[in-house]
Chain A
Amino acid sequence: MDILSLFVVVPVLTVLVLVFAKNLKQARVISLIGMTIQFAMSINLIFAYIKERTVNTDIMVFTKDALWFENFNIHYSIGVDAISVLMIALTSTVILAGIFISWKVDDLAKEFFVSLIILASGVFGFFISIDLFTLFVFYEIAVIPMYLLIGIWGSGPKENSAMKLTLMLMGASAVLSVGILGIYFNSNADGGALTFNILEIAKVHIPVAAQNLFFPFVFIGFAVIGALFPFHTWSPSGHASAPTAVSMLHAGVLMKLGGYGIFRIAMYLLPLGAINWTDFFLVLAGFGVIYGAFGAVMQKDLKYVNAYASVSHLSLVLFALLMLNKTAWTGAIIQSLSHGLLTALFFALIGMVYGRTHTREIEKLGGLMKILPFIGAIYVITGLAYLGLPGFSGFVAEMNIFVGAFQHPDMFHRIITIVVISSIVVTAVYILRMVGKIMMGPLSNTEYAKLPKATWYEKAGLILLMIPVIIIGVMPFGLSEMIKASIQPFLERLL
């Protein structure tokens, strides 16, 4: 078994073993073991990748290829570059933390972990695929369990939120399938055979007309899950209704599939289409950044604040991708990682606060720092990292994005960049207000004085997510070097 396929095989095996679990205790132990192995493998993969890179200069390494459907030329084809390696590491971190946070699922525990891990296996498969068809299969496998996860274990208007989320995301993936077929049927433009292989298609000169036609299909297909305005409406209600671990995984990982897919497929395979369409989508993405930030300011519910903040930050990823240069792209990828960790932290913390106080309304909370010092401290650190304080991952990401955005000298880009940068201020407003209100000041309710402290599994989940935030923050250069090397082939496509 090769090093990459294991990332799909281990979750699938975990699910198969989980089916035989008899109670909550067994279910979570099995999930924990499976996902710990997954986490260890992903750490191993980072080092293996760095080692492999010194001798191997291919675009993708650790490649494997097996024929699947012969007459469509569909392959099970896998390989990774630095971007996918980092995304895999992010996913395995968040899923492991998610298992810790869901330690006390009481209703249908086994089914919960099964759905969660099926979702994870889809995400891992997505990141290792370099065949469009296989990638699309994994993408849909990653999306559909959300319906059950939100619908069964969620809270509030969960049925509607789950339905809205699933339909919007699956509708987008239906649009995406048109785009993928469009690329496929143009992949013989230079006379070769039709192919789904990303690396093969990148060598083909797809006609400009086809690129212009199919770019929006692929872009929108992925951008809906990346919360592009005006297709972001599933996100706030979905995140608010979802159980904690699902919000973490969804905002932390699943929404990154959008940015990754746009980068890997829309930008890489349809570069001319990208150049022609950027201005239009830049306006949408830029508006999304501002809209999300102001939306977050207006919210009273903690989860809604974070959901709108996610819309804002992920629109920033799309914004950076549409800048089409090296610095901005590096920023987009670091932003994906950073946001994935931070938003997972936030949702975990909100879940912990809610689990103790049974409210998520900012107005009703206050002074929790004194009662819950560990959770409070992590909350403050996460907030500061989120608004881009130097020393944490958020700063590195935003710095790269805005420097990259400013490399465009024309008026249109300048104006939109300046408008988008102003969102930093708005971010500071809602983060500081939220953290200040719920953590500092006097205790809002005397009953809160008896709240239990953080348990070991909560601490484990939080620390697991916090470590990489700090690592990225204090030594960003190794990371950005690694990313930049992998971005090079994408840049060459734009020339």
Chain B
Amino acid sequence: MNLESLLLMRSEIGLIIIILLLIIFEIFSNKKQKAAIIPFALILLAINTIIGFFPLQTGEIFGGMFRTNTLLHFFKTTLSLGVLILLLQSADWLKEKVVAENKATEFIILILSSLLGANFMISSGDFLMFYIGLELTTLPVAALVAYEASKRKSAEGAVKYILSSALASGTALFGISLLYATTGTLYFDTMATVLTSSHLAILGFIFFFSGLAFKISLVPFHFWTADVYEGAPINVASYLSVISKGAAVVILMILLFTVFKPLMPAWTKVIYIVTIATMFTGNLFALRQQNMKRFLAYSSIAQAGFILLGLLSVDQLGTATVIYFVAIYIFSNLGAFGVVQAISSATNKENMDDYEGLYRTNPKLSLVMMLALFSLAGIPPLAGFFGKFFLYAAAASKGYWVMVFIAVVNATISLYYYLLVIRAMFLRKGENPIPYFKSGNYMRLGLLIAVIGILVIGLYSPIYEYIYSFSNVFFN
């Protein structure tokens, strides 16, 4: 192994350097300089993201524990961009509330560590690396959920999160050990060749899947989601629903399409049932939520159900569509969470009722929210429409017509609750609407990038074609 091959880990090494620099900064800065941490971190992460857009060759290091290819690299860069938007949206909150408590650096470092974990998880070439990545993704977030420690709900959410994710990790680990027992290997490539659909292997798969399903909050492993989102600071809820979920979905897809391909008859049934349950549960529970965080929590459960549609077609089309949809979902959800964050940090209001009459006082924020929600609902010409339509197409291409029909019914149900927010903001005048406020420049930039993503990713077809062009890496 020569040193050059370490470049395959470019984005991970970049993140590690950023984290180290931030720690050094934290140690050597005095109290007045603390606030400078925010632009410093943002610039570093932006540089790392931009570098990420340059192509990287395919390869593996550490004896196959770590691998990378165009698809993985593209997705890691997308996640990095998502975290950048997220940090932009959190910057004003950090500056006003957290820097004073001297905890801003920790917040950023924890988020970046979790992102690093997500990167390792996606790039893993065997189950050990995968597990380490998974834990590294999860543990910092547990600390982040409890970030507003003085709030009771925050602490409650953190306990729920740490307990359920510990259980989930344990379950996944148990599944991995069963798989190891049947195949005698932990490497993805080797396991794919020797795995047969024995009962033990299927049992192992089910345990493993359950563990991962916790992270994606698929039904019936979703119970923690709404409470944790409600307790956590909004940007952490946003991180959970966007970055951590997106990463988990993609690694699930990769494993299903490669390692578990011999078990396909078994896992398609599992996915089929879980998809239907997830879509209906997420949608029906979202109908009656008043708190915007809980609302977005259930909405994101339902969205995860839609993503699973793409997994049913085990081919290039399915891979491309899932990656494409997750990218769109990142931008749309960040748009929605960003607006909730902006309003919450200006007024401490998080209920749907409080949004009544918002358009008349804060038209721009309302428009961003409308675009984000319409994108989530799948209304053209916004990106979400293309993502959803292609997911239907991916499922239909393999003849899952009943599934497609159930999905479109669910899309209609979801439109109802997204319209409820639109109704509050646009249709109602409200007795005392939130007065006009100016959000900070970081927040504006964060929302602007999200809106550009929502508008461009769908209409500008080369993005989809680019994703499609490298989506065959797992089907040689």
A140-B380, A152-B427 given; A69·B412 CB < 8 A: no
A147-B422, A159-B427, A171-B412 given; A178·B465 CB < 8 A: no
The docked-state distance in angstroms from the alpha carbon of A182 to that of B317 is 17
Are A162 and B427 interface neighbours, CB within 8 A?
A: yes
Are B426 and A148 interface neighbours, CB within 8 A?
A: yes
Interface readout for B409-423 with A: 1 if CB under 8 Å, 0 if not? 101100110010011
Closest to B464 in A: A69
B374 within 8 A of A: yes
Chain B: minimal CB distance from A225 (Å): 14
Interface readout for A157-168 with B: 1 if CB under 8 Å, 0 if not? 011001100110
Which size class do B's interface residues fall under?
20 to 34
Contact residues in B for A181 (Cβ distance below 8 Å): 392-393, 396, 404
A57 within 8 A of B: no
B266 within 8 A of A: no
A72 within 8 A of B: yes
- Output the residue of B374, B381, B401, B408 with the most chain A CB within 10 A: B408
Which size class do A's interface residues fall under?
20 to 34
Contact residues in A for B397 (Cβ distance below 8 Å): 185
A70 within 8 A of B: yes
Closest to B422 in A: A147
The docked-state distance in angstroms from the alpha carbon of A369 to that of B134 is 78
Chain A: minimal CB distance from B220 (Å): 26
A34 within 8 A of B: no
Interface readout for B261-288 with A: 1 if CB under 8 Å, 0 if not? 0000000000000000000000000000
Which listed residue (A69, A138, A185) contacts B461, Cβ 8 A?
A69
How many A-B contacts are there with CB distance less than 8 Å?
79
Are A137 and B385 interface neighbours, CB within 8 A?
A: yes
Which listed residue (A71, A152, A162, A178) contacts B405, Cβ 8 A?
A178
B379 within 8 A of A: yes
Contact residues in A for B419 (Cβ distance below 8 Å): 147, 163, 166-167
The docked-state distance in angstroms from the alpha carbon of A410 to that of B412 is 41
Interface readout for B226-266 with A: 1 if CB under 8 Å, 0 if not? 00000000000000000000000000000000000000000
A137-B385, A140-B380 given; A178·B401 CB < 8 A: yes
A243 within 8 A of B: no
B470 within 8 A of A: no
Interface readout for A103-147 with B: 1 if CB under 8 Å, 0 if not? 000000000000000000000000000000100111011001001
The docked-state distance in angstroms from the alpha carbon of A140 to that of B408 is 14
Are A182 and B389 interface neighbours, CB within 8 A?
A: no
A159-B423, A167-B415, A174-B411 given; A71·B465 CB < 8 A: yes
Contact residues in A for B427 (Cβ distance below 8 Å): 148, 151-152, 158-159, 162
The docked-state distance in angstroms from the alpha carbon of A167 to that of B413 is 8
B390 within 8 A of A: yes
Chain B: minimal CB distance from A257 (Å): 15
B468 within 8 A of A: yes
Closest to A171 in B: B412
A68 within 8 A of B: yes
Which listed residue (A72, A140, A158, A182) contacts B379, Cβ 8 A?
A140
Chain A: minimal CB distance from B411 (Å): 5
A59 within 8 A of B: no
Are A175 and B426 interface neighbours, CB within 8 A?
A: no
A184 within 8 A of B: yes
Contact residues in A for B320 (Cβ distance below 8 Å): 71
Contact residues in A for B426 (Cβ distance below 8 Å): 148, 151-152
Are A184 and B393 interface neighbours, CB within 8 A?
A: yes
A399 within 8 A of B: no
Are B381 and A137 interface neighbours, CB within 8 A?
A: yes
Are B461 and A70 interface neighbours, CB within 8 A?
A: yes
The docked-state distance in angstroms from the alpha carbon of A182 to that of B399 is 10
The docked-state distance in angstroms from the alpha carbon of A158 to that of B429 is 13
Contact residues in B for A70 (Cβ distance below 8 Å): 461, 465
Can you list 28 pairs linking A and B with CB atoms under 8 Å apart? A69-B461, A71-B320, A71-B465, A71-B468, A72-B390, A74-B461, A133-B389, A137-B381, A140-B380, A140-B385, A141-B381, A148-B422, A151-B423, A159-B428, A163-B419, A163-B423, A167-B412, A171-B409, A171-B412, A174-B412, A175-B405, A175-B408, A177-B389, A177-B408, A178-B401, A181-B393, A181-B396, A185-B397
Other CB < 8 Å A-B pairs besides A167-B419, A174-B412, 11 of them? A71-B317, A72-B390, A151-B427, A163-B416, A163-B423, A170-B415, A174-B408, A174-B411, A178-B392, A184-B393, A185-B397
